[in-house]
Amino acid sequence: MKIEQLRKALRLYLVMGSPNCGGADPYAVLEAAIAGGITMFQFREKGAGALQGAAKFELGARLRRLCAQHAIPFIVNDDEGLALELEADGIHIGQEDASAAAVRQRLKNMIVGVSAHDLGEAQSALAEGADYLGVGPQYATRTKLDAREVQGPAVIQRIRAGGIRLPLVGIGGIDATNACHVIRAGADGVAVVSAIASAHSPREAAAELLRNIK
Ligand SMILES: Cc1ncc(COP(=O)(O)OP(=O)(O)O)c(N)n1
Ligand SMILES: Cc1nc(C(=O)O)sc1CCOP(=O)(O)O
Ligand SMILES: [Mg+2]
């Protein structure tokens, strides 16, 4: 995917697995979120009650097919093996996961997203071949228990001021009320979990987010 296409795809990035859907069917949540206008999806089956083994694979495969039907890039969180099995468009890895350089080397044709928390990590990720950065937490989040300290959109301004032009999304505690600040700080898009996956109407939640970042 070309860099400008990736920037557009990152505009409204849903990150989700079954534990984030409040008992609703993740397939139905993703279907509604796509109808509401999400532009990219990450399968992150993580946390209390997360599916394992064959059940995780089967859900991933169904969500992967749904994304393909709607031309939504499908990214797998953390797990290179699963990304290959599902023929994902990409993988997202963090600072505590496999090295970005090694993943880039092994998954030559996939989009590689890397989490960065400051300019130094952003520079390293760029040097190691990352295609985009996920920068957080922007605001307080209850979704990721091991998230770092809240940084606010200023961290994105610092990364941009340091000369990083790589496609970049903010993540962590982002909703329709604060997403515009993340974009104004220099992000190409926002990545959200609960603001869409736990919403009463994931379709309307996605549409409202999109309106507020346009
Ligand atoms: C788009 C995006 N940005 C950041 C993350 C966080 O990745 P990581 O730090 O590896 O944490 P886990 O998600 O693996 O718990 C992400 N998943 N997506
Ligand atoms: C998956 C993830 N990564 C983060 C980071 O800071 O890198 S915060 C986070 C969880 C985001 O969930 P919500 O939109 O519900 O706050
Ligand atoms: Mg990770």
Number of independent structural domains in the chain: 1
Q: What CA–CA distance (Å, rounded) separates 134 from 117? A: 8
128-167 confidence digits (pLDDT tens): 999 999 999 999 999 999 999 999 999 999 999 999 999 9
Q: How far is the CA of 2 from the centre of ligand 2 (A)?
A: 26
Structure tokens at 32: 């509604």
Residue nearest to atom 11 of ligand 1 (CA): 94
Under DSSP, is residue 77 helix (H, G, I), strand (E, B) or coil? Answer: strand
Q: How big is the chain, counted in residues?
A: 214
Q: What CA–CA distance (Å, rounded) separates 99 from 151? A: 23
Please give the residue range of the domain that contains residue 191.
3-213
171-192 confidence digits (pLDDT tens): 999 999 999 999 999 999 999 9
Told to judge if 44 belongs to the known catalytic residues of this protein, a careful annotator would answer yes
CATH of the domain at 90: 3.20.20.70
**Token match 């700080």: residue?**
185
**Token match 């279907």: residue?**
31
At residue 47, the pLDDT reads 95
